[in-house]
Amino acid sequence: MKRLLVLALLLPLAGCISTAASIVTAPVRAAGWTVDKMTTSQSEADRNRGRRDRKAEEKQRKEDKKEAKRQRALEKQQHYSDPNQ
């Protein structure tokens, strides 16, 4: 009977123990999260560099396409305004 009473009294304490463990480990987890956010791993650096390079290439392609279109329009305009042709 005493064992049953002890178990019945300890059962609600299980939640308190897990809460206490969470409180104790919270600063460690917060420090780990901060370090993770402030540092960049090699794979993250590679991914970011690749993303930056792809964006730069896309921007260059758009500029080249725009310049080619401008050149075609200029040539077309010169062709129609040339009296020798």
| pLDDT digits 0-9 by tens, 7-63 | 666 666 666 667 777 787 888 888 888 888 888 888 999 999 999 999 999 999 999
DSSP state of 34: H
| Distance, CA of 33 to CA of 53 (rounded, Å) | 28
Q: Is it the case that residue 72 has pLDDT exceeding 90?
A: yes
> pTM of the entire structure?
0.48
pLDDT of residue 84: 61
| Distance, CA of 23 to CA of 16 (rounded, Å) | 10
